[in-house]
A and B are shown apart, each in its own frame.
Chain A
Amino acid sequence: MAQVMMKDLNKKYDEVHAVKDVNLHIRDKEFIVLVGPSGCGKSTTLRMVAGLEEITAGEITIGDRVVNDLPPKDRDIAMVFQNYALYPHMTVYDNMAFGLKMRKFPKTEIAKRVGEAAEILGIQELLKRKPRQLSGGQRQRVAVGRAIVRHPQVFLFDEPLSNLDAKLRVQMRVELKRLHDRLETTAIYVTHDQVEAMTLGDRVVVMKDGWIQQVGEPLELYGRPANRFVAGFIGSPSMNFVEMTIAETNGALWADTPGIRVKVPPASAARLGPYKGQRLTLGIRPEDLRVATGSDPADYSFDTVVDVVEPLGSEILLDVKAGSNVMVARVDPTVRAKLHDKMRLSLHPERVHFFDLKTELAI
């Protein structure tokens, strides 16, 4: 049990600046997820915490110890790797016992802990097998088991579910969450999958190009993205972005682009004042668009043409065109839409996001 602090963390390879000024305070017992596209520095950050990569500049503290110069074995952490990294020449039992043996635990204690972990993970029958005799899901369990027998201060997960098939991934995700609730050990989890990030994380850290973009609880990231990247990265299908011009008509602000003209919701109007006459990006999530009915205010509606219909059963995704703007709307499965149909859509005025064109920051 420990908190993890990263202070001005930097990692430079010869020419690549992989991690830039990362500051992060991970609270005790927290499950934190680092998420971002490949090459964003999330794995490098994790590996610096593990001690597998040297820290170029900055400081990492685990508990109350600065660990910068400690070798991995002295950091009291456990890590689960994407390819499981099970020792192929050892049985499942020996794989799980390895860390305890290296730390010179008595045999009875090792047997007890391995037994407990095996029970939690439901792998008691597999203890005598070799890794090659296991399925992907079983290997993943063993890898997790090897981490939990150690009772470390921090768990590190490096894309642990990426090698599993879709169904198993969902199942293991739930199990990991349950496991964390039970063990209450601080965990840092790296993934490129935003669904994993949202479902597992107490807080989620979105990274891009080595920078932290935003840190927050999942729904906070979803509802109030700090910038355009986070807005587009979290959520599937991702947020629609339309470049628009802000203009004042009859004392109210309007966002305008060929094909779409909507009123700036009063809540945002004050902040958009300085952008009068300028261009910016409007963001709206697919579920915040709906088919307009007679009662919807005309100020927030616009006409579109259906381009693609994707019926998913519980909902329908409509790819529509408004002028030259392409958008996706998530609508009720009862909506009957055909290709090239004209359709009037209405957006949810309180859920419209605006981003600065240059800085891409939320306004």
Chain B
Amino acid sequence: MVIERRWKKWVFFYIPLTVFVLGTLFPFYWMFVTAIRPDAELYRSWRAVNNAPFWTLQPTLEHFRDLMAKTMFPQWLWNTFFIAVISTAISLACGLLAGYALARLKFPMAGALGTSIFVTYLVPPTLLFIPLADIVRDFQLGNTPWALILTYPTFLIPFSTWLLMGYFKTIPKELEECARIDGATRFGAMTRIIFPIAVPGILSAGIFAFTLSWNEFIYALIFLSSPERKTVPVGVVSELIRGDIYFWGQLMAGALLGSIPVALVYSFFVEYYVTGLTGSVKG
């Protein structure tokens, strides 16, 4: 065993790690402090006596109350949840089948197809929304949740297809060959053997897809117009910023509440998530 000098560990490990963790967590802390700070503290001058930008001595839940009662935040939360869940489900179903086919089946142009699916993922949403807006209008989906449920898969499917394809490739193909000899059809081998083994990969694809659609902003901003149809990211920004007036307390309360579901999802599945990305099956 190599005995390293202690200062090396501090300089190259603990100190950078501490800086990184503080840097990552600070915005969340700021969000939290702002959300529980009374308006009187929020809008006073920085040079005021007793100003304490990093903490507050009079925490209040007033902003949360206002957010729930005076805005349509609960409705936004529900909209976001509904859209995220359905578009994730659609994308996972497509990604599972496509990923499996690309990883396992031999067919002409399989490689080219895989690459082109990936390339579609690289088209920035800021460009793609223009033609999509046209399609959404033609199908009269504007201002309905379906405008988002059907457009989110444009980036979710390529993403989950690639993630799952990579995961399927780590599973030895003998497993399903054996299942097929044992009496399963190809489809049976896929659903009974491969999918159960791929649960970590499927979960990480699901978490990713859910997070991406939960946080999505541009499409939601463009395709939804009436306040009661909006999602959390768009609703908070468009209804709580009136011209140049920022309702900071409610904004931050909304942001905080909006990030809780995602944080919960991650913390529940973090172990699967890691194995899903590193991909490991031990027979």
Contacts and interface: CB of A to CB of B under 8 A. Distances in A.
Interface of A: 50-52, 71-73, 75, 77-79, 81-89, 98-99, 102-103, 131-132, 139, 146, 150
Nearest to A139: B283
Interface string B177-220: 11111111110100001001100000000000000000000000
A102 B174 contact: no
Contact of B283 (A51, A84, A150): A84
B183 A102 contact: yes
Contacts of A84: 283
B181 A73 contact: yes
B282 A132 contact: yes
B182 A98 contact: yes
B197 A89 contact: yes
B274 to A, nearest CB: 18
12 contacts: A52-B177, A72-B180, A73-B180, A78-B181, A81-B177, A83-B283, A85-B174, A85-B177, A85-B283, A87-B179, A88-B197, A99-B183
B283 A131 contact: yes
Given A81-B174, A81-B177, A102-B188, A86 B183 contact: no
Contacts of B183: 73, 98-99, 102-103
Contacts of B193: 87
A71 B197 contact: no
Interface centre among B179, B186, B188, B282, by most chain A C-beta atoms within 10 angstroms, is B179
B110 interface: no
Interface centre among B172, B181, B183, by most chain A C-beta atoms within 10 angstroms, is B181
Contact of A102 (B184, B186, B282): B184
Contacts of A99: 181-183
Nearest to A87: B193
A336 B184 CA distance: 63
A73 B177 CA distance: 10
Contacts of B175: 85, 87
Main SS of the interface on chain B?
A: helix
- State the 10 A-B residue pairs at the shortest beta-carbon distance, nearest first: A102-B183, A99-B182, A85-B174, A85-B178, A81-B174, A72-B180, A73-B183, A72-B181, A89-B196, A79-B181
A73 B184 contact: yes
Contact of B182 (A51, A88, A150): A150
B281 interface: yes
A85 B282 CA distance: 10
A146 B182 contact: yes
Interface in B248-283: 281-283
Given A73-B185, A81-B174, A102-B188, A88 B179 contact: no
Given A72-B180, A102-B184, 17 more contacts: A50-B181, A52-B180, A71-B185, A72-B177, A73-B182, A75-B181, A77-B181, A78-B181, A84-B283, A85-B172, A88-B282, A89-B196, A102-B183, A103-B183, A131-B283, A146-B178, A150-B182
Interface residues of B, number: 20
B183 to A, nearest CB: 3
Nearest to A79: B181
Nearest to A101: B183
A77 B182 CA distance: 8
Contacts of A73: 180-185
A361 to B, nearest CB: 37
A164 to B, nearest CB: 14
B180 A71 contact: yes
Contacts of A71: 180, 185-186
A88 B174 contact: no
Interface string B40-55: 0000000000000000
Interface centre among A71, A81, A85, A132, by most chain B C-beta atoms within 10 angstroms, is A85
Nearest to A73: B183
Contact of B281 (A52, A81, A88): A88
A129 to B, nearest CB: 13
A305 B180 CA distance: 59
B258 to A, nearest CB: 36
A145 to B, nearest CB: 12
Interface in B51-75: none
A78 B185 CA distance: 15
A139 B178 CA distance: 14
A86 B188 contact: no
A85 B178 CA distance: 7
A98 B197 contact: no
Interface centre among A71, A73, A131, A150, by most chain B C-beta atoms within 10 angstroms, is A73
Contacts of B179: 87, 98
Contacts of B188: 102
A132 B283 contact: yes
A89 B175 CA distance: 11
A305 B62 CA distance: 101
Given A71-B180, A132-B283, A83 B185 contact: no
A132 B283 CA distance: 6
A83 B172 CA distance: 9
Contacts of B180: 51-52, 71-73
A201 to B, nearest CB: 22
Nearest to A74: B183
B178 to A, nearest CB: 4
Nearest to B175: A85
A60 to B, nearest CB: 15
A52 B176 CA distance: 10
A274 B183 CA distance: 58
Nearest to A97: B182
A44 to B, nearest CB: 13
B108 to A, nearest CB: 11
